[in-house]
Amino acid sequence: MGSLKRIAPIFAVRDLEAALSYYERLGFATRPYHGGGYGFATRDGIEIHLGVVPPQDQRVNSAYLFVDDADALAEEWLSAGVPVHPPRDTEWGQHEGAVVDPDGNVIRFGSPM
């Protein structure tokens, strides 16, 4: 049986340059795919792929980041001028917050309470 190594969600974006810029503000290293229409955002072993879709394509995607300190990450992103839904304690024992990128893709992030 094969083993799983990692996962990289693919977020639908309409403007690749704007998406790459947004993820840079979140502290990700970004790079466009040399063939166009696609890009990569990486940080701390996390990778998000960004794929251009036509304007009428309204899909949105989401990903969950398990982090050491949700409050510290929220503060970092707020300091970079990114709107953040602040972390709150949940009934399932996580302290969770979220950001929504310009294309409506959601990154939820949480740390243990």
pLDDT digits (tens, 9 = 90+) for 16-40: 999 999 999 999 999 999 999 999 9
Statement: residue 84 has pLDDT above 90: yes
Task: For tokens 């503060």, name the residue.
Answer: 75
Cβ–Cβ under 8 Å, residues 82 and 28:
no
pLDDT at res. 34: 93
The single-letter code of the amino acid at 57 is: D
Run of H or E residues at 100: strand 94-100
**DSSP string covering 63-75:** EEEE-S-HHHHHH
pLDDT at res. 4: 84
Q: For 10-112, which CATH superfamily applies?
A: 2,3-Dihydroxybiphenyl 1,2-Dioxygenase, domain 1 (3.10.180.10)
Cβ–Cβ under 8 Å, residues 84 and 65:
no
pLDDT digits (tens, 9 = 90+) for 60-72: 899 999 999 999 9
Domain extent listing, the chain: 10-112
Instruction: In whole angstroms, give the CA distance from residue 71 to residue 68.
Output: 9
Task: For tokens 């990903």, name the residue.
Answer: 63
